[in-house]
Amino acid sequence: MSQATDTYFIPSRPEILIQLNKLINKKDLDISEICNVLKQDIALFSSVLATVNTPYFGLARKITSIEHAVSLLGINRVFTIVRLAALRNSLSTLGPLERFWDTGSDVAQICALLARRFPEVTPDDAYTLGMLHDCGLPLMMHNFPGYKEFLQQIPCDSISGLHHAQIEQYGISHYDLGYALTKSWNLPEATCEAIRLQPEYKSFVTEQKDDRDNVRTQLCILLIAKEISRKYRTYWRVTKEDVPLISDLEPILNFMGICDYDFFDFRDDTLLMLEN
């Protein structure tokens, strides 16, 4: 059993996000007011524009203003980008995380591609989940000196094994801290739960279907994306390429209604896309 997360450092949600959330939920939505508030934080403003102009959004020309981004993408999608950019900025203050974000970007792109096959999950929610699925790792490094060395030394052959090794050593795992962080930042509940339940995927996805199927779908999309990403690069936490992070894909594929042939076909197409 892991310890309560309130004893560990977790970056607070910036005031600007709280303010923007209130403005977006107002009955008389004022786009210009929302854009003006966002422009007050230069670092966040710049990060949002950089994100909007990535190939993922597929915009025909470069966006140079928040107003233009809102007109093309809509206010809810832009707010999702704002929240993700703010989280990335906050975590990046904890240390150099380039390889972490590179891997997250790969997983996020694959998640978004998969979500297009399953309309109950939006590509943007899937992308956010992919970017933040291991967001507890920087928090573990910040809270526990020597954590990175611990990851390099433990004999771990699965997500579940990594989870239990962390609990045995520290009393908490990065999946728990990732859940606590996304929950405190008011991300969608299904996204938070999918992050937390990664080590328990096998039992969770084989449970009887209920009102948590949206969580199951997001979790399965994430784990399939992680498995494909594993084939493309070694995870930044020094996991060997020949060691499976997901010991058994069968319950995941069964829940999603994907046969082995379709999975391998999608995986090969995606690997080719990443290579290019």
| Sequence-separated (6 or more) residues with CB below 8 Å from residue 115 | 121, 122, 123, 125, 126, 127, 221
Establish if 4 belongs to a structural domain. Answer: no
Domain that holds residue 215: 96-276
Token look-up 């894909």 returns 249
> Quick one: pLDDT at residue 246?
59
Q: Which of 205, 206, 203, 142 is nearest to 174 (CA)?
A: 142
Establish if 7 belongs to a structural domain. Answer: no
Query: pLDDT of 124-171, one tens digit each?
Result: 899 999 999 999 999 999 999 999 899 888 876 688 889 999 999 999
Whether 218 and 113 share a structural domain: yes
Establish if 1 belongs to a structural domain. Answer: no
Whether 180 and 232 share a structural domain: yes
Q: Which residues of the chain have pLDDT under 50?
A: 1, 234-244
Whether 133 and 269 share a structural domain: yes
Residue 31, SS3?
A: helix
Residue 199 to residue 2: CA distance in whole angstroms: 13
Whether 46 and 113 share a structural domain: no
CA distances from 141 to 57, 98, 166 (A): 32, 15, 12
Q: At which of 93, 123, 156 does a domain end?
A: 93
Q: Is the pTM higher than 0.85? A: yes
Report the domain count for the chain: 2
> Quick one: pLDDT at residue 241?
47
Whether 273 and 139 share a structural domain: yes
Q: Which of 182, 76, 90 is nearest to 132 (CA)?
A: 182
